[in-house]
Amino acid sequence: MKLLERIREGVFLMDGAMGTQIQGQSVPKSAWQGKEGCNELLNLTAPGIVRQIHTDNFRAGSDAVETNSFGSSPITLGEYGLSERAREISRAAARVAREAADDLSTPDQPRFVFGSVGPGAKLATLGQISFDDLCDAQQIQIEGLLEGGADAILLETCQDLLQIKAGLVAFDKVVGPKSGKLLYVSVTV
pTM (two decimals):
0.95
Asked whether residue 136 is domain-assigned, the answer is yes
For residue 172, give the 3-state DSSP assignment.
Answer: helix
Reported as a single tens digit per residue, the pLDDT across 14-38 is 987 899 999 999 999 999 999 999 9
Could you count the other beta carbons within 10 Å of the beta carbon of residue 22? 18
Give the residue with greater pLDDT, 158 vs 177: 158
In angstroms, how far is CA 3 from the centroid of its own chain?
16
Domain count for the chain: 1
- Per the structure, the complete domain to which residue 67 belongs is given by 45-187
Reported as a single tens digit per residue, the pLDDT across 80-129 is 999 999 999 999 999 999 999 999 999 999 999 999 999 988 999 999 99
Domain of 156: which CATH number?
Answer: 3.20.20.330
Amino acid identity for residue 64 in this structure: A
Asked whether residue 63 is domain-assigned, the answer is yes
In angstroms, how far is CA 111 from the centroid of its own chain?
16
Spatial distance between the Cα atoms of 112 and 52, rounded to a whole number of angstroms: 16
**What is the tally of helices (H) and strands (E) in the chain?**
9, 4
Asked whether residue 36 is domain-assigned, the answer is no
